[in-house]
Chains A and B, each alone.
Chain A
Amino acid sequence: DTEVTQTPKHLVMGMTNKKSLKCEQHMGHRAMYWYKQKAKKPPELMFVYSYEKLSINESVPSRFSPECPNSSLLNLHLHALQPEDSALYLCASSPRMVSGIEDTQYFGPGTRLTVL
């Protein structure tokens, strides 16, 4: 089973709203990732958690706040977003982060976010 689930599938929010994206995996993976993907572009890495600790922040604005409550769950809290933040947000997991090169990242279906 290589399933990563994400909720919600779609989200529309205003610039003053606070919302959260949720990602879950039950594969026992110890690394989890958030990516942002604009239309017709490849995914861009935002954050990496390894063993529930934030390991990589790719200079993401503070209006995006990640959280990893346990090894199976990853949240992305959104506050005061801009219209240019509208994108597909993808979550992924892999067995490890600092690892052999063969570690594969498995992605969820994504959340399509629209900021009005």
Chain B
Amino acid sequence: AQKITQTQPGMFVQEKEAVTLDCTYDTSDPSYGLFWYKQPSSGEMIFLIYQGSYDQQNATEGRYSLNFQKARKSANLVISASQLGDSAMYFCAMREGRGGYNKLIFGAGTRLAVHP
């Protein structure tokens, strides 16, 4: 079964507008972490933001925020004030459990295109 689902293969947004990239996850472990990575065409995976399952508040990092809805098992990435440089592939990933292997489970990704 899919553990991480990103239902939007592609999205586009106008420059300076906000965009939400969807991510749902499936786990029975009460302890897990959720990560978002950005991958430009150059190939490097850039860490954006982290949300822990026990965190009470939504994570924010500059223009990135994570809309964490635990009951719905969703961890959507919100990018505010989009810039042309935000055009890239975005991956949602999950790590389950404490004390276990630091193995990330990735979603299929969403390709974001920012238009001027």
Residues of A within 8 A of B (CB): 2, 31, 40-43, 45, 48, 55-56, 88, 90, 92, 94, 96-110, 112
How far is the CB of A89 from the nearest CB of chain B, in Å? 10
**Which residues in window 2-34 of B have CB below 8 A to A?**
31-33
What separation, in Å, do the CA atoms of A92 and B102 have in the docked complex?
12
Chain B residues close to A by CB (< 8 Å): 31-33, 35, 37, 42-47, 50, 52-53, 91, 95-104, 106-109
Is chain B's interface secondary structure helix, strand, loop, or mixed overall? Answer: loop
In the docked arrangement, what's the CA distance between A2 and B44, Å? 13
Top 10 A-B residue pairs of the complex, sorted by shortest distance between their CB atoms:
A42-B106, A101-B33, A107-B45, A110-B43, A109-B44, A97-B102, A88-B43, A103-B102, A101-B95, A104-B47
* A-B contacts, CB under 8 A, total: 69
| Across-interface contacts of B32 in A (CB, < 8 A) | 101
